[in-house]
Amino acid sequence: MPRISVLMPVYNTRPEHLREAMDSILSQTFTDFEFLILNDCSTDPQVETVVKSYTDPRIVYAVNERNLGISGARNRLLDMAQGEYLAVMDHDDIALPTRFEKQVAFLDAHPEIGIVGSRVENMGTGKTEPRPEKDIDIKKMLMINCNLSHPSCMIRRSVLEKNNIRYEALYSPAEDYALFARLIPVTQFAIIQEPLLRYREWGGNTSNKQSHRMSSATQGIYAFMRRDNPEIWAMAQYHQKTGECIKILGITVMTVVHTFQYDEWRLFDAIPILKIKKRPTGLRNLP
């Protein structure tokens, strides 16, 4: 039985992006894995041509007879997996060579952690955004928006199975955010403080193509996160409520209040003059 099951759904992926993603997995320094690739009934025949051009015996290739959508495809991959750890991978990103080695070592050394991600490098800009490291800070972050990169994550399969947690089509295309939210009460999180994944941001990302559906799904996720984790929800709100003052001759003329839900401008710290609701954000998925 392999230590890791790599879960990669593919759908009408650009051939050059798919090759880069596959090469990055097959070049990992940690080699004890099965590479599960699920073609979700792509209409582009090049997807299958690219996958079948590889002969690595660790590749397990399957094709859906009909398109299941991203949640259905991810759940079928969960059902196929045999590994102790589940390495999430998207079809157009690049895993850095030591990703699996470092994440397996981390999970082996920290049995209380059920999911570990990493910082992520944006391929277009070369930038790596800061992310919290510790469990409570990650959970407070998730109460505000989904800034844990799904394709950077490695998950203990036993945690999902014990708690009957799967991807939920109700929350697609933010099903990854919903999965994280379901995990908050049952396990601990960690983020390795170095980039182990290179993320490709382009016009085909779900966050760019389905922003309205993403926003609607995120509101539903907020609802059950607040219900299931009232203490962390309250801490997140308190943490996010900050203010700035604009003073003239020592008199406060304008106050700007920031919360996780809105930004508000108040004249003389008393008269609201402008309030802008923040659009909830989620991670992108496959189309």
The pLDDT tens digits for 46-66 are 999 999 999 999 999 999 999
Average pLDDT taken over every residue of the chain:
88
133, 37, 23, 50: which is closest to 87 by C-alpha?
37
Return the pLDDT at 262: 61
Looking at residue 46, what is its pLDDT?
97
pLDDT at 201: 82
Which pLDDT score, from 0 to 100, does residue 270 have?
Answer: 62
Lowest mean pLDDT among 31-45, 49-63, 75-89, 208-222: 208-222
Q: What is the rounded distance in angstroms from the CA atom of residue 269 to the CA atom of residue 252?
A: 7
Using CA atoms, how far apart are residues 45 and 50, in angstroms rounded to an integer? 9
Residue 252 has pLDDT above 90, yes or no: no
Q: pLDDT band at 145, cuts 50/70/90?
A: confident
- More confident call, 202 vs 120: 120
Residue 1 predicted with pLDDT over 60: yes
Query: Which whole number is the average pLDDT over 160-164?
Result: 98
Residue 73 neighbours by CB under 8 Å, 6+ apart:
9, 11, 38, 40, 64, 286
pLDDT, position 177: 97
263-281 average pLDDT score: 66
Residues 197-222 have a mean pLDDT of: 78
pLDDT at 274: 79
The tokens for 251 are: 């008199």
Task: Tell whether the model's pLDDT for residue 278 goes beyond 70.
Answer: no
Question: pLDDT at residue 240 above 90?
Answer: no
